[in-house]
Structure 1
Amino acid sequence: MSHKSSITILSSLFRPENDARPTLLLGAGASFTSGIPLAGESVRRLAKQVFAERELCGRVPVDQIKPSEWVNWLRNHDWFLPGEENLAENFPLIIEHLLQPEAYRRRLLLELTSIKGDIGIGYHALADLVLRGLAGTVMTTNFDLCLPRALAQKHPHIRHVAEVNRGESDFNEFSLFAKAQIVWLHGKAEQYTDRNLIEETKTLETVLLDHLRPLLDATPLVVMGYRGAEDSIMQSLLGDANQKFRQGVYWCTRGSEALHPNVEALKARLGRNFQQLEISGFDEAMRDLNLELAGIQRFAQPVTSQEHQEFDDLVCEGATWADIDADLALTTLRRYCEKLERGPVSSAELKPLMREIGLLRKDPEGNELPSNGCVLLFGRQPERFFPHSVLTATISDKKRTVFQGNLIKQYNEALNWLETKDVNPEIKVKGKQKHVSRLAYPERALIELLVNMIVHRDYEAREPSTINVEDNYSITFTNPASMSARSKVRLATDENGAFDPVPEFSDLRNRSLCDVFFGISAMERAGTGLIDALSLCTDAGGSSLFAFPPGAERFVGKLFRPGASAGSAAVSIDRRPIGTYTLNTLVFSAIPQFITKLRVHGGWANLKSKAALTEAGPFVFESRSNLLWTFLNPALSSAIFGDAMEGELEEIPLSTADDDPILHKKIAWLMRKHFEGYLRSFEVDGLMIEKTKKGFPAKRAYFKSKGQRNRTIIYDSPLRKGIRRDVVKRRGDDSLPWFECEGFGYEVVRFGEGWGVRIKPFYMFTKKDGQSPLPGYLRTKRATRRIRFDRNTNVESDFAFWGRFLSRGQQTISIGDGHVQDLILEGSFFTADVTEEGLLTDDSSAEDRRPA
């Protein structure tokens, strides 16, 4: 059997359609490429070290010991099994007879299994599978730390890794359904519980076996990197005659490697329940398995207990699912899963994902309710439950702005405020030979402190977070948050509570909030935020201050402009000049994964008579081919169109659109019809869709006059409330009036790997009724005159207005018309950070881009 065939079989075991997740058993071979020696090499290293330290009293360095010296020395022991082929069998013997006492054994074993560089790709791939819920329990005969390190690098997205059998009677964390669980079959060397002596390798403890046997009965067992030499595993764990392994044992070997006699005996006993799989190696197998299952995930069982949970993990008292903006949650968590390479999430998978990451919880009565973190992140009105969870911003203690709503909204709006000239103006900084122009505060430093404020504040405190700009001097972020016990140990503070940030140290106060903000790339995992802020400010000629003032129960972060006063290897900082650009496109943050195609018998007349079209929502029908296209799922499509259908319907993945021009056109057409359906909800505001002479939508919409008078729209921006905008203006004189009406053209476009709706504002000039267009030549004349007065500020104002108007001030726009849950647009135009040297002067796309 080839490696490729083996991966196909293994991938079928790990897929979420199977009720039981496989249990893995790893041996020393799994850690070999991470620098951990196999049993034979371990014997060589240990023998050389003991010989150098005990026989030669350390007079000769270990690396200078010759093979003839340690080999002959070992042969003089009557317990030693001679022969190169038996070298690995001496591993428990050398530990039994040479590594005495326990402290000496512990030191040598920890040195032997210390990780000098990065761990192998196999462990990284295994951690990916655990993150996506496809793997959960890993049993290991090893005592190196490769697996814990790989799983720790997924923190905080893997919130907790259960470790079983680290010490005596250490079974409290064992679970049949654990999200991430390591079972140390032979204990851990750090805690003197490694079982490597001769007697210890014969059996496992009865209580450990009692925990593991139900797991092995219920799940497939996949073995990698293990020879099968120890009786403790082959006889004690796998050799029980009553254990049939009905889910199967899949024993992986490298190439045509022969099975150990113990494994041959197991194979003979299990018969068809045992299958030998050929793989190229542990790293190659786990890498290819992870690739084969890319984008596939299984959602873990929800956690029901509220004991020992942090505040953001607790059920929000009085809140229900109706208090959650599901569209915002879906949009945000799709980005979360994309960042973590977990795969796409649909509306049907939203709640299972939120259960897994702790945003949905069960109360003592078993009701599923949103957690405090869920309401803070995605609540429609979180201030109902957390009235103090607002952010206030002032300039010289004046010009107060209050950011409220959920934390995603607060983050976006506060970020816009920090980018304004009143907060972060451009200044001239004197250099040695000349001065340069730059922003007063590095933008990334402001972002780091803003995110730190949002995710680490104490939301039980009855006071808001604040930002205050002291003109021409500094900007201060103040947050209700007392200093934790861990921070007191790691951070050295002076008499004023000031401290220097410590690389790689992060004390996560609200893990659910941190998890989501990590997942949407707003912050980094490694705890480098304050380090980066300090470094960026220093490099820019300014400085920074971080403190927990004594007795104040708050954190203060302060950034100083140049002239006011004077890292981690895991996360890099891009110091190149960055320009932020806004494209005139509303991007789809969620789209259906499939489009449904069916054929209608008898054409349009039959479709109208036999299908409940009022329940169908938008669809595309081609009269020439009698084909109908819809985003409704097959079950709902059959229910609505079934009586008019001819043959079977077909469900086509949207991912194939780029290879099929006809499908691409149908998807764009259908998305546009949904968008037009959404635009009709603005008829009460005077927005109308222009029609062609044949009565079809002309892909343009504009405002009509209000009773042959001006029309004014009042809207809120992130920084101002109650902005008045005259979208229809009466022009001309009383004898020959006409109207200047704001509008926009629209089209659905492919946008990178996704889709979007491109908006192009324009002016429609109408007759005195305020809605009928003037003749073409008159419109052209007035448009030419009007465009002379449009400058960049007008363009910025247009985009700000249309974004807020079309989104109704919300962060997402659902255009699914209640029928399609996964058709959601971002509530603001797409922005991108671009390094200035990357902008080409001849870039033809500049016409659709404006500086933010």
Structure 2
Amino acid sequence: MNRASPTLSVGDLFSRVVDQDPVVLLGAGASVRSGVPTSSDLVRLGMRWIVAAAKGWTPDDPAIRASDVHAALLAEEWYRADIKQAELFPNVLDAVRPRERRREFLLDVLGGITTPSAGYQHLAELLRRRRLRTVLTTNFDNLLPLAFGAGGLVTIADQSQYGVISTNPTRPQLVYLHGTVEHYQDRILRDEVESLDPRLVERLVPLVRDHPVIVVGYRGSEPSVMRGLFLNNIAEAASFRHGIYWCVRVGTTEFHPNVRELERGVGRNFFIVQVDGFDELMSDLAARWMSRAPAVSGARSNAASQPATTEMPFELRPSQMAAREVDWNAVAPLLRSYAERVDLPAGSDPGSIQRVAHEAGLVVGDGGSAQLTIAGALLLGAPRSAAPGAWVNLRVDKKPPRAIDGTMWEQYEQLSAQLAALNRPIRMKGPRSSLAPPYPTAALKEVIANALVHRDYEADDPIEVSVSREEIVIRSPGGLEADLRRRLLRGQVTQDTPPDLLQRALALGERGTQLTGYRNRVLADLFYGTGLVDKAGSGLADAFQELEAIGGALRTEVTDDNAWFIARLLRRPAQLDELTATARPSTPTVLYELNALEVTALPDRIHSAPTKLRYGELRGKDLFALPPYVLYEERLITFSNLEEPGNPLRGYVDVTQLRSELTQSWDDEIRARRIVHLFNEILFRHLGRRGLNTDFKDRLAYYACRTSVARYVEYRSRAREKQRRRVSHWPGDVRRYCEHKAARFALERESGSWLLSIVPTFVFTRDGGRDRVIGREASSLATRASTEEYNDKVRFDLVFWSSVLCDGQPTAHLDAGGTTIELSARPIVTEVTPLHPNQAALAAGARV
């Protein structure tokens, strides 16, 4: 690099741009710690897709080896060994064909990333506070919108939105230079990577001319950005008179030729800023900015029109404790464990450990002036000096209360030990006696960690833990963050929302996703990094399931004033014998309603004959004009009487070799499967006649919704009352997909009876009809939608689907071709004495 280019520290950068309303340009390096693959990783992943397409496999097929991927890469005509692999990504993406498959590839590698790193959290906070107002990004991911939260961030992703780009925005703006996955544009392909859309450049040049530009996480290899935005506009942008601040990792000596050319063209307005990484840079800038006055230069027009922005998160504010007061050798094992978990470099020297703490948001500032944040004081220092309520008040029956103090980790260990001593196993009497604790140990640990991590540390009250004979109650100061509460309730409470929806959503979480909006992200990140708490939002779900598996329960609630979150753990049910110190399981016989309908009558006889008919020969009207049938071993099998002269199936079989047998004689496994197949043909024809879309392969049925208006269907309740149910709609927050109530059907034989099981589920389509969303994306959407689908909601679904099948009548008569199959509309009720009383699963309608 030109030795004349000044090299700045983060402090120097801040002093130069603090009052200048800088623009931030993000590259791929900014997203790596959030789990986004690097460009080199994307090259390898893209080549897997190319190899898979060539072999007719799926991209995740384990048969695809690294050697296959490497050989395929070497065979491409555009491959050059002298070019860094990361720069080949446009070529690889171009080779993923057709265009729709490119979008599918990007969704696959980026769609499941939902955890913005600390750097994105700090950047979002700076945008909310209007310290920064414009971010440009070369990335496709949605990490910044996720970190920012709902409302307030103007996102520009395609040409129809370019007109709203402003040099003096009233709301923070994020401009995707290459589009998002959802607004996918082929701007990253090799044939189009040379330039940006001229209309976009026209809107951006005034921005980069009138504001400093901070570039972070970007190598500068793309001509579209380096030439289209910077090099071709040096004169028009007055040599970027407010400065280009190119951030690089400490020790970087090699730069892309495009960066060298920009340095020469801009001259003294080009600066190198040495940083430890994107997260560290944003953490440092946030700490410096938040210590200043609240208004940012140039944002005057925003003050009157916008609501007050949120303050710096309490846990990230500087405490009064200096970093030099920490015994870094004592905390090194925990921080090294965290670093290993999140793939951060961590040496053995105190300086290396302090850098990990800085990265994690526990330390702000440099050198001798470095201070612990509130989170740092809670985890590493003297918690009550930073947050007076940072302790636990433990009450056991009528004994005097006990105060549990120390760092958060120490409080966790002490409280876990105290409750473990009270959770002594008891001998359960039965045919074979056994030892069992009143509460699952893992469930106790999850609930303790949840209380410590997510309580409101601005409140002066301690956590209250009360232990009695039958339950443990944990009261944590602070209710639910508004965004989290809104998300758990899916934005609304409707007439048919079960009253315990919030309880279930809190306990069951959203598997595989992070519950954005929870309190104390830094604390959660550190506890996650040491393996003490599940950051992905499933810790309460695990506790809930473990307690219900032993017949206990976890009840969660929020006080009316949202000042306290309460978790109530109910112990294993048992009849205690004080004299012998033993117990008997409390497992009364109960009634459960299965998610199944009984087939009350199959046709008496099943008919078959040789045929040359093959699947696929008859379609549409020709197929449905015939009675239902299946084909096995060159024989046509049907319930329709082939001996009847008028049966249209006779034209497709050898009538000289007809066979008629009693249906009940088909009781072996092979022929029973053929009955199931034939029944499914009959059932899905019946569902089609009832106006549903069907997917025979997946045994699915659902109602279409081809307009933007939600579709409702009337049905009869058990009490024969008319009810109205929404069966498909376009959710307001994800309008690119239509959400359909759906059900899976499966015929099974149990103890000589035929049962039709019904499993309520969801289907998502792009057109409201048959263009279904599948794979990981569909699973994520279904997990979110099904958060509320427990208890009575499932029961309502079963009533609804049985009414659909039976047209509101007590019995359905399925047309089998001149004969019928009878299906009872009433779900089966069974008397059960649970051997392993997972009452949660039973109440949710699981098969016994």
Query: TM-score when scaled to structure 2?
Result: 0.39
Query: TM-score when scaled to structure 1?
Result: 0.39
